[in-house]
Structure 1
Amino acid sequence: MAEVGGSGPGHAAEVSLVPSIGPLGVVVGILLTVLAGLLIEQLVHYMSWRYRRAAVGVAAIFAPIITSSPELAVFTVALLRGQAEIAWGSIVAQPFMAATVIYPVVILTSITAWALGRRRYKLPHVHRIVAVPLLVFTIPLLPILFLHPERYGVFGNLYGVFLLVLYFLYAKFMLREEEVEKAGVSLWLRNPLAQTGVALLAMALGAEWLVGGIKELGAAAGLDKLALSIILVPIATVVPESIVGLIFIAKGKDDEGVSVIVGEKALYSTFYPGLAMALGVYTLEEAAATALTLSIVVSIFEVVAIWFGYFGLTAPIGLAGYLYYVLCYTLHQSCPLWAPTPS
């Protein structure tokens, strides 16, 4: 991504991968991001048919790995350079943005597609089984608020290993074998490896230009750089990360779409923090703790909504949490819901 967030304001580091094309980057970025999403959606159906795996499972595992590739690169480079705050900040940001911004975007996408006649229902309808992984991957966030490898040593490392094992068990379950009646799915680029490569390239370039374009527009409008980094840039990064799920939602394939979003949450609630904790590079500051607390609260409410067959009913709660966070760390610099105990 164009910007790598730390665990709170004041911990941002910019990594530019491509030359800026100014405000035009917003349009180009959106087009490339949508193209990448369509390519990945085709790949999900192709892999489900080719390997006889549940489409919901392929969507939950394969799509998030592809769409999180820019964050994976940032996370890896930060670890290699010993920048624990940057590495951990890239992890904490995703569950927070999912709970506070992605859910409202899902609802907006669903209502818009319904108004255009592309969907049968206004709101996403999902099966209760979707609530299980969302709850399973909300619970592991709770100990992270209290567990400090720098303070508890090997016990924190072991918890990281536990999270890694949990994710692989989840992946094995989701990628269970299933009879697929649908005929062979055609790919625009014919070759799955070539289509994956082009999707990755389009995703990376689209994300860079989209974020860069928004920053240029913000600067032209005279907006403060800190406000941009907290409010506008994270919203821009939500689109590339969630585009596959949003495309499924727009087409009325709610289980697959929500599975992509839940799968992204699973990746950032178990695999990435588990790897960081197992390696002993975990750090948690007040801003990160507040973000995690908000994501946990919203996710618990979302589990209840999914249990009744709906997804995204927590959008108002999520937006309120996002505004609370923004106001806290732009006006007061600190107003934690909970702060970690000093080591």
Structure 2
Amino acid sequence: MMIILYMVGGFISVLIGGWLFTNSMEYVSHRYRIGSSFVGAVLSPILTSLPELIVFLIALLLYDDVSGEDVAVGTIIGEPFVVSTIIYPVIFMVAAVGFYLRRRDDVVLEVDKELTIPFIVVLLLFPTVLLPAIIKSLAVRYLIAVFLVTAYLLYAHIMRNRQGLVIEDYERLYIIRVINRLRIDWAAFILQLVVSVVLLFAGSRALVEGIIDLSKYLMLDVTGLSIIVVPTATVLPESVTAVIWTWKERDTMAVAALIGEKVLYSTIYPALALATTRWLLSVEALVSVAVVEVVSSVMLYHVIRGKLTWDVAVIGLVGYLAYLLILIHFI
């Protein structure tokens, strides 16, 4: 029972920290006149993915054993899986509620066709994370890691040139609402940034410790469990952002925040894991990669048409249920 409460506390801490961090990102975007496409597909994922990065580092630094590496690798593989499966159904539910309350014109997500770029990146690069598990060569792992980092830098450069319109109507820094005496924006921004980082660190540590302790207690596969639990918790910051943008009928921004996250976890974070872990993948990891590729392919087809329909959510749920069945089978 104490393990569950500890993980819940970590979950809440990560959620609040990510929420504050996302708000800080919007302030920086508005202050420095950075376009919406770049914010959604590049800047937002970099900032909101910090919980997963902290989980990864904590798992390696504080748990210098096999289970720590399993959590680290499971987190890297699990992020695109969670985003591809259970987040989009939530987005479409928000769109449906918005339509029912007449805040939206329809339940279809209208998106900019420029988002085909990050979807193509995910489809082409995410499967490369399987190669090191097949080719037992340290040189190959390092080569793939360098390739993935280079690919991400090229992707960021392309998206920077297609950054879109600047966000004008951003929300005021949340910390100012709590502490009215903070009249200077930069001081409020620094304070909010520090608070969010502390919350992200504390929550991530609690999640890692809970995952390892719970898996040992239940005698479950650590990698398989971490693919579901940790990313489901740490994906909340970008999910909340996407939900808000969907509610406001800023569909391109909502989808960009999610696919941008998948790009980051198809390139930079796998590269980091390849260079610092043994990178041993379980059957569950292989299945999660396959699910990500199928869902991303369907979504790419819709993005080319400029519209995402409800079948994306259905396919995501089917993939999630299939993974759960396979995880139960191999326990």
Q: Determine helix, strand or coil for the equivalent of 2:105.
A: coil
Measured after TM superposition, the shift of residue 54 of structure 1 is 1.1
Aligned counterpart, 1:68: 49
Structure 2, unaligned runs of 5 or more: 176-184, 210-217
Check 1:251–1:44 CA distance in 2 against 1; reply closer, same or farther (3 A cut). Answer: farther
State how far apart, in whole Å, the 1-side matches of 2:304 and 2:55 are. 35
State how far apart, in whole Å, the 1-side matches of 2:153 and 2:30 are. 22
Q: How does 1:278-297 map to 2 (within 5 A)?
A: 278-279=275-276, 281-297=278-294
CA contact (8 A) 1:149 1:155 kept: no
CA contact (8 A) 2:55 2:205 kept: no
Aligned counterpart, 2:15: 33
State how far apart, in whole Å, the 1-side matches of 2:84 and 2:259 are. 10
CA contact (8 A) 2:35 2:167 kept: no
Of 191, 194, 197, the match for 1:194: 191
Aligned counterpart, 2:182: none
Q: Does 1:92 align with 2:89?
A: no
Measured after TM superposition, the shift of residue 296 of structure 1 is 0.9
Of 139, 146, 151, the match for 1:161: 146
Q: Determine helix, strand or coil for the equivalent of 1:314.
A: helix
Measured after TM superposition, the shift of residue 138 of structure 1 is 2.1
Check 1:124–1:44 CA distance in 2 against 1; reply closer, same or farther (3 A cut). Answer: farther
State how far apart, in whole Å, the 2-side matches of 1:132 and 1:278 are. 26
Measured after TM superposition, the shift of residue 57 of structure 1 is 0.9
CA contact (8 A) 2:245 2:254 kept: yes
CA contact (8 A) 2:41 2:118 kept: no
Q: Does 1:322 align with 2:331?
A: no
1:185-211 superposed Cα distances (whole Å, 9 cap, x missing partner): 743433322233344456667889999
1:171-224 superposed Cα distances (whole Å, 9 cap, x missing partner): 233344777484897434333222333444566678899999xxxxxxxxxxx9
Q: What number of residue pairs does the alignment pair up?
A: 303
CA contact (8 A) 1:126 1:255 kept: yes
State how far apart, in whole Å, the 1-side matches of 2:294 and 2:277 are. 27
Equivalent AA in structure 2 for residue 54 of structure 1: G
1:44-93 superposed Cα distances (whole Å, 9 cap, x missing partner): 44323322221221232332233222221121133342543222111011
Aligned counterpart, 1:104: 89
Q: How does 1:235-254 map to 2 (within 5 A)?
A: 235-254=232-251
Structure 1, unaligned runs of 5 or more: 1-13, 213-223, 335-343
Q: How does 1:157-306 map to 2 (within 5 A)?
A: 157-176=142-161, 180=166, 182=168, 186-189=172-175, 190=185, 191-201=188-198, 233=229, 235-279=232-276, 281-306=278-303
Check 1:36–1:71 CA distance in 2 against 1; reply closer, same or farther (3 A cut). Answer: closer
Check 1:314–1:184 CA distance in 2 against 1; reply closer, same or farther (3 A cut). Answer: closer
State how far apart, in whole Å, the 1-side matches of 2:126 and 2:197 are. 29
Query: What is the root-mean-square deviation in Å for CA atoms of aligned residues?
Result: 3.8
Give the % identical residues: 32
Measured after TM superposition, the shift of residue 162 of structure 1 is 0.7
Give the TM-score normalised by structure 2: 0.76
Q: Does 1:114 align with 2:114?
A: no
Equivalent AA in structure 2 for residue 146 of structure 1: L
Measured after TM superposition, the shift of residue 125 of structure 1 is 1.0
Equivalent AA in structure 2 for residue 314 of structure 1: V
Q: Which has the higher helix share?
A: 2
CA contact (8 A) 2:88 2:316 kept: yes
State how far apart, in whole Å, the 2-side matches of 1:181 and 1:231 are. 34
Which of structures 1 and 2 has the larger relative contact order (alpha carbons within 8 angstroms, sep 6+)? 2
